Structure formats: structure tokens, C-alpha cells
Amino acid sequence: MNKPTPNFAFTLMSYAFKLRDLVSPREKILQEVNIQPGFRVLDYGCGPGGYVAGAARLVGESGKIYALDLHPLAIQRVQDIARKKQLANVETIHSDCKTGLLDNSIDIILLYDVLSWLSGQQAILTELHRVLKKDGILSFSNHHMSHDEIVSRVTGGQLFKLVSKGKHTYSLSKREL
């Protein structure tokens, strides 16, 4: 089971991400993912919510953003963002693995810079495979892993296959079991 980082460390990380987002807006990365109006998007390991507002704008009122994290402060920050920006299409999930979402219900999963920090990686990938639609995309990025490590770790369990590599993200599709 994963344990959340201490609150102080999470707060420092949140400030660092705010600076990062000023220098390199998250919208550039989200454009690469091709999120469409009406999509259901899962931001798995959402942290302080750097992608939430941008993704919520892209899916529009007819879409939904699910922001999952194991840290209570992450959930609180995303709820604050949703309230302040009046984003009625954002829902938070406090969990370290299970999403509670229906099978085949998600169009795009954002899995950014979190997998390398989590234990039980195969269980997480199995859960993501379960909730992703047949034609859905797992959008993956991790600056702490090499290209070969990303491909082997995410595709090694035979749940996903690499579709393309963009400037910022890898797009993977769901393999049928």
C-alpha cells in the first residue's frame, strides 16, 4: 500500500509545480492528448491538480474529470480549484489504487510522473486497464524513467500497447485480454 508524502513535502511540491506550470503551461501537454468535449478523463495521481482545470475546459460541461490521489491535501486542492473556477464537471477520488469507476467508462487516463513513485504498479495498471474504454488512451509521462523503462514497464504486463510517442507523452491503447 502506498503512503502519502508528509504534508510539508506535499506543500513544497505543490509550490514547485505552480512554478513549473507558469514556465511550461500544462495545456501544451493536454493538447497532445487530444481530449474532446464530452470525454470522461481520469487524472490518476492528480497531485495538486495542475491538469484539472485545463482538462475540465477541454471536456466541457458534457464531459467529466475524475481526479484521483492518495494524499488528502491533493484532494482538497483539486476541490478548491473546482470550487474557485466553478468546474462542476470535476469529481475527486481519494484512493491509492481502486478508482470505483465502472468498467470501460474512461476515454483518456492521464498518468503523469507518478507511476515510478507507487508500489503495486501492476495492480494500478490492471485497474486502469479495467476502466479504460476499448478505444481509449492511456497518456503516460514520467521524467524519472527512460524511454526503454517506460515502454517495458507499461507494456510489459500485456495490458497496454504503445501507439505513439509525442513531444511530452506516450499514448498507449488497451489490449483486449
| Alpha-carbon gap, residue 177 to 175, rounded angstroms | 6
Q: Where are the alpha helices (DSSP H) in 41-94?
A: 52-59, 72-84
**Which range has the worst mean pLDDT, 11-15, 125-129, 160-164?**
11-15
pLDDT tens-digit map of 68-109: 999 999 999 999 999 999 999 999 999 989 999 999 999 999
H/E element, 141 = strand 132-141
pLDDT-derived band at 1, boundaries 50, 70, 90: low
DSSP state of 161: E
**Residue 138 in grid coordinates:** 492511456
| Whole-prediction pTM | 0.92
The helix-helix angle for 7-23 and 72-84 (nearest 10°) equals: 40
Sorted by where each starts, the structural domains of the chain and their CATH numbers stand as 7-174 (3.40.50.150)
Distance between terminal CA atoms of the chain? 26
Average pLDDT, the chain: 92
**Tens-digit pLDDT profile for residues 133-152:** 999 999 999 888 899 999 99
